Amino acid sequence: MRGLSTVAAFVFFVVIFAIFVATAIYYYQLLRQTAVQGEQQVRSAALPPDQLASLAYNGTCIFSAAGPGSPFAYYLTINGSGARVFNSSVSPRLVGAFSVRCPPDPGLYKYIGVRQNGQLAYMYVYVGPSAAWVAANGTIAAVRRVGDSAAATLYLNVYDNSTGYLPASFSVSLIYNTTLLSCTPSTFSAGPTAFGPGEQVPIYLGTATCRALAPFTSTVVKAVVTQSYGAYSWSWTVPFVLELVNAT
């Protein structure tokens, strides 16, 4: 009987211990899950997705964000190194969007908008050179003899490959063999004009008329494009705009 009572006591102890361990594991998992959910709720409340904020340019920079808690109370901008560029108070009567100071230079910026309820909306903005190339309304133009001319309508195709607005100016200079051709005009300009992130815009430059100065079989017109953003500028060569051939 003593052996049976000892075994029963041991079994009872094991059962109680198992229940205690299971209960501890259950409450640990419950607390862990609650903590994770709480952290997710706090993060989602404090850091909404980037797409809730946007930066537009129409002469001034407009920062806007959707969702509850608008309007904003104030905003900050921070550059890539983490140093504060500037901050500014914004009237809480402005709903949804307000003017912000444009980035001073090309680079990576982080815009932070603080709503009245304390939530944040943020967005990374890269402002830099766009992709641009020059195209004519045809790839080949023909002349028959020295003194004849051919006209081509030129367009500047601009693609904003940054994540921010692009208020830029462009200048285009035609490059050709000056012993064979004379093109008028040979320089064009466009802008300043603004482009949104990922936006592609064709800009009409004008019509260039090229006159043959000497005999040739074929010759190519190239272009140099210069993009200006404030005090910054970038230049690159477009290797082909138009080919002129001798039709005789």
User: What confidence score (pLDDT) does residue 53 get?
Assistant: 64
Instruction: List Cβ neighbours of 111 (8 Å cut-off, separation of 6 or more).
Output: 53, 55, 63, 75, 76, 77, 100, 122, 123, 124, 125
| pLDDT tens track for 107-153 | 777 777 666 566 666 677 777 788 899 999 989 999 999 999 999 99
Q: How far is CA 27 from CA 20, 35, 60, 117, in A?
A: 11, 12, 55, 33
Is 93 or 14 the better-scoring residue by pLDDT?
Answer: 14
Predicted pLDDT of residue 26: 67
pLDDT value for 194: 80
Band the pLDDT of 17: cuts 50, 70, 90: low
- Global pTM value: 0.64
Q: Residues 89-95: contacts with CB within 8 Å, 24+ apart?
A: 92/116, 95/70, 95/71
Residues 208/184, Cβ–Cβ less than 8 Å: yes
- Average pLDDT estimate for 175-187: 96
In the numeric block, the tokens 């138009």 are attached to 242
Region 81-99 average pLDDT: 54
Kindly state the tokens that stand for 59.
Answer: 């002469």
Mean pLDDT of all residues in the chain? 75
Tell me the mean pLDDT in the region 166-194: 93
Structural domains of the chain in order of their starting residue, each with its CATH number? 50-127 (2.60.40.3080), 131-246 (2.60.40.10)
Sequential DSSP letters for 204-217: EEEEEEEEE-S--S
**pLDDT 10s digits, 61-82:** 777 765 555 555 555 555 444 4
